[in-house]
Structure 1
Amino acid sequence: EVVSIRVRDLDLARGEVRVTGKGEKQRVALFGTPCISALKRYLADGRPDLLKASDESSDALFLNRNGTSLGERGARARLNETAVRAELPAAFHPHTLRHSFATHLLDGGADLRVVQELLGHESLGTTQVYTHVSTARLRGLYASAHPRARRATKRDA
């Protein structure tokens, strides 16, 4: 999906990008201030330098060193290089980013249907794969929601 994004698909003011997923279905993906800042720097400094390497003009957001659209293999290679520099586990895979995104949303209390929409899943069942719950989250929810989970008071002792 990332390699198919065009510059015209970005709306930096709103923190949105139009993404074309499986089956040519379009959806809007959201991103925050750190991403907006990084994209602004890339569009102002990085991308123009890459465009100079090509005789052709490209509307692709992400370009390779030849100034043409970054392909899937190139994107995967850049991501792997970044993962190594960030000392991420060797098992890191591009799908790990989607999994982390969904897990963080759910751990933060997002509704499953919202996560479904943000991931572009047609079926809620596909999204339910991400509903594994961390032990820390379970403990926190149990402690805040169950009356017997609270610590004993002096009166209880």
Structure 2
Amino acid sequence: MTTTDDTDYSTLHLDVPEGAQTVSITRDFAATPDKVFRAHTDPELFVKWCGPDTITSTIREWDAQTGGRWSYVSADDSGEYGFFGSFHEVRENERIVQTFAFESFPDAVSLEILTLSDLGDGRTRLSSTSIFDSLESRDGMVASGMEQGIVEGYDKLDRLLAEGR
């Protein structure tokens, strides 16, 4: 599955292999790795871009360092949705390894590995793999509108990065 966004320079590649408990994402950004990293680790920036356009998010806890924890609530017209996890490895401007859980299904924990690669010329490639606890959890996440949320979120991140924040 490949999704192309509206920008001239970036394409979202979403790989959902049949029968595997993984989802992989590759997306290029017109920003340096330090800026893309900061957008993932600074809670004030994170809530401005994460998720689909229809939600607003509020941070409850955010300690973006190895061994730290995070928690936030997203809200839309249908209600509120809480998420939480732990930062297992935070390597500045390079890599974030964290767990991810939806409060309504706390036993369905995924492991997310995000890597940033400097492409030169002020560009960064984000590569992310989520490993789900089961194929059913993975398929449920995909069916929930995950792709739309990723595309809209990364489009918002593009705009945020272009503003120089």
Interval containing the TM-score (normalised by the shorter chain): under 0.3
- Higher relative contact order structure (alpha carbons within 8 Å, sequence separation ≥ 6): 2
- Calculate the TM-score normalised by the size of structure 2: 0.24
- Calculate the TM-score normalised by the size of structure 1: 0.24
Between structure 1 and structure 2, the one with the greater Rg is: 1
Greater per-residue helix proportion: 1
